[in-house]
Amino acid sequence: MRDDKRLVYVCEGGDCSEKGSIELHAELDGMLKERDTACKNRLRKYPCFGGCEHGINLVLFPDRVFYSNVKAEDLPEIVNHLVGEGPEVKRLEGKVAPDVEQITWDLLDTGF
Amino acid sequence: MALLLTPEWDQGYTALAKARAMGAEAVIAALAAADLRGRGGAGFPAARKWELARAAEGSVKHVVVNGGEHEPGSGKDRMLVAQYPHRVLEGAAICALCTGATSIVLYLIEDMHDAIEAAQRAIAEAPLEGFEVRVVLAPTTYVAGEETAALEVIEGKKAWPRKKPPYPGQAGLYGQPTTVQNVETLAWVPGIVLHGPDWFRPGAMLCTLDESFARPGIVEVPFGISLERLIADFGGGTRGGRPVKAILPALSSAFLPASALSLPLTHEALRDAGSNLGCGGFSVLEEGQCIVERALQIAEFFKAEQCGQCPPCRMETNTIAAVFQKVATGQPGDYVAQLEKITAFARGKGYCSLIEMAAAPALSAVRLFPEDFASHARTGLCPA
């Protein structure tokens, strides 16, 4: 069931997990537990976003923000945005092909 | 009456001698008249493939006997090489003769020990002067059976499919024209050459019936018999004795409902019904068995076996498996839309047809058995 929380998806597909997405997810989870006191975000794993060559991919929904090449050092900025204390991290956006981004929104729109 | 699964002929290679006397054009015409099609799954006419290879320019050409039979539930190619190695070799030699190739590679999976030994013994025995014949072993990964992945392995590289075009007939092994032909397809060739196309027509194929049948095994089945007869006469019915709920002609084909039992076993009839004869690795689901569980097993297989080269394929296979996992554990949602969107996005993308192979059983399962999936998604329990 969808609620009003923002969904934060970290890709756990082959390439992304090889690049450390599982560890990045755990690190982000810890940071959100500490910083997201208003519980605005729900962190999830996603099977594969198809933007493999640009991983690690991290997606915000329903914001429709698609971050690519995410590294641990980007997390403080990302978390600042997630808790409403900073802007989107624009330098991480616009890397994947438009059709890959579109199918991501199409799939997430189904709410499943 | 069996045509192919008869005792191994003498090793005089009389069909090869006859093919030499007939000439390449007459042999290819005989294959066309017989309507021999590829038995690896695609069903491409053998005569057309040979014509293209014959017309291709190149001073060195190759024939690859594709025994990369990686589809679970299919065992016919291994059996043929293990028990009828000379028939396969003779078919390959006729192919080489007709396409202008001098090099023949038997591409066999590394764990097919009986077939590998039989092939090596037959190569030593065969009167194939003028041809260089060798065995190259394939890894056990699914994608290694794809024809261009086979070429990569033979060249000593990773088993990844190549981007096409160029097709192997134009630029295959080492960039030279190559005819990649399935083991069974080649095994039929000597008989057609010796006895003429009428001996073969309306044709037959080897089907592998899995453990879902009362009598599993490899059978030679004439084209045109009904699926009902295939299951009852050749397979002894379903293993549990209950009525058929669904038919899967191959792991990478779409499920067919019980109402398709009257369909004739032909490429066209199964294609018109939305499925595919594939390599004939048949499986059935009987009443009381869970389609969701079966669809999830297949999805997990393709997720594990996609080679990782093409992102859309990774995305699709991962998504299908994740969607079925959710349904199986009772998480309701619009799973049909998810499957339709991801498979539509992936269609035609990627270097090989695994994308379509993963989609066919998944989409057909949810479309044919919506109540089973809905009940699973609601309760996590199987209504079957």
Local confidence band at A3 (pLDDT 50, 70, 90 cut-offs)? low
- How many Cβ contacts (< 8 angstroms) between chains A and B? 55
Is the pLDDT at A7 greater than 60? The verdict is: yes
Contact list, B350 vs chain A (CB under 8 Å): none
> Which of A13, A47, A110 comes nearest B334 by C-beta?
A110
At residue B116, the pLDDT reads 97
Residue A13's pLDDT band (boundaries 50, 70, 90)? Answer: confident
Whether B328 and B312 have beta carbons less than 8 Å apart is answered as no
Q: What is the DSSP string of A48-99?
A: --S-GGGPSPEEEETTTEEE-S--GGGHHHHHHHHTTSS---GGGSS-S-HH
CATH of the domain at B260: 3.10.20.600
The pLDDT of residue B1: 66
Q: Report CB contact under 8 Å: A49, B308.
A: no
pLDDT of the residue at B375: 93
What is the domain count for chain B?
3
For residues B317 and B311, give the distance between their C-alpha atoms in angstroms, rounded to a whole number: 10
Per-residue pLDDT in tens (0 to 9) along chain B, 384 residues: 678 888 766 668 999 999 999 999 999 999 999 999 999 888 899 999 999 999 999 999 999 999 998 888 889 999 999 999 999 999 999 999 999 999 999 999 999 999 999 999 999 999 999 999 999 999 999 999 999 999 999 999 999 999 889 999 999 999 999 999 999 999 999 999 999 999 999 899 999 999 999 999 999 999 999 999 999 999 999 999 999 999 999 999 999 999 999 999 999 999 999 999 999 999 999 999 999 999 999 999 999 999 888 888 988 999 999 999 999 999 888 999 999 999 999 988 888 888 888 999 999 999 999 999 999 999 888 877
CB–CB of B341 and A106 under 8 A? Answer: yes
Distance CA B34, CA B178 (A): 23
Give residue B141's region: left, alpha or beta (phi > 0; psi -120 to 50). beta
Residue B6: inside a domain: no
Q: Are residues B49 and B33 in the same domain?
A: yes
DSSP assignments along B135-149, one per residue: EEEEPSSGGGGSHHH
- The domain that holds B69 is classified in CATH as 3.40.50.11540
Which residues of chain B lie closer than 8 angstroms to A49, CB-CB? 315
Q: Which long-range contacts (CB under 8 A, 24 or more apart) does A73-78 make?
A: A75/A24, A75/A27, A75/A28, A75/A31, A76/A31, A78/A28
- Is B54 found in the same domain as B184? yes
CATH number of the domain located at residue range(s) A6-108 in this protein: 3.40.30.10
Q: Domain ends where: B151, B173, B195? A: B195
pLDDT at B380: 83
Residue B5 domain flag: no
- Confidence (pLDDT) at A2: 54
Q: Does pLDDT of A1 surpass 50? A: no
Residues of B in contact with A51 (CB under 8 A): 311
Residues B213 and B309 in one domain: no
Maximum separation of any 2 CA atoms in chain B, in Å: 69
Query: Do residues B237 and B319 both lie within one domain?
Result: no
Name the residue in chain A with its Cα closest to that of B377: A112
Going by the DSSP 8-state scheme, the letter that residue B232 receives in this structure is I
Q: Same structural domain for residues B27 and B52? A: yes
Q: pTM value?
A: 0.88
A chain contacts of residue B335, beta-carbon cutoff 8 Å: 112
- State which residues form the domain around B345: 291-379
On the question of pLDDT at A109 being above 90, the answer is: no
CB contact under 8 A, B345 and A103: yes
Beta strands B62-67 and B281-286, pairing class: unpaired
User: Please, which residues 25-54 of chain A have a Cβ atom closer than 8 Å to chain B?
Assistant: 47-53
Residues B40, B64 within the same domain? yes
| Closest residue in B to A54 (Cα–Cα) | B311
Looking at beta carbons, which residues of chain A come within 8 Å of B337?
110, 112
Of B71, B61, B86, residue with least CA distance to B7:
B86
pLDDT number for residue B137 = 97
In a domain, residue B352? The reply is yes
Nearest residue in B to A104, CA atom: B342
Q: Which of B259, B247, B248, B302 is nearest to B70 (CA)?
A: B302
- Helix (H) / strand (E) containing B113: helix B113-125
Tens of pLDDT, residue by residue over A26-67, are: 999 999 999 999 999 999 999 899 898 899 999 999 999 999
- What are the boundaries of each domain within chain A? 6-108
Query: Do B172 and B246 fall into the same domain?
Result: no
Q: Determine contact: A106 vs chain B, CB below 8 A.
A: yes
- Crossing angle, helix B311-328 and helix B354-368, to 10 degrees? 30
CA B238 – CA B226 distance, rounded (Å): 15
Do residues B146 and B239 share a domain?
A: no
Does B158 reside within a domain? Answer: yes
Which of B137, B168, B195 corresponds to the end of one domain?
Answer: B195
The ipTM value here is: 0.73
Shared-domain flag, residues B222 and B321: no
Closest CA to B266 of B289, B249, B254, B252: B249
Identify whether residues B115 and B213 lie together within a single domain. no
- Whether B212 and B338 share a structural domain: no
My answer on whether B115 and B83 are in the same domain is: yes
- Domain-ending residue, one of B177, B195, B213: B195
pLDDT tens digits for range B323-339:
999 999 998 889 999 99
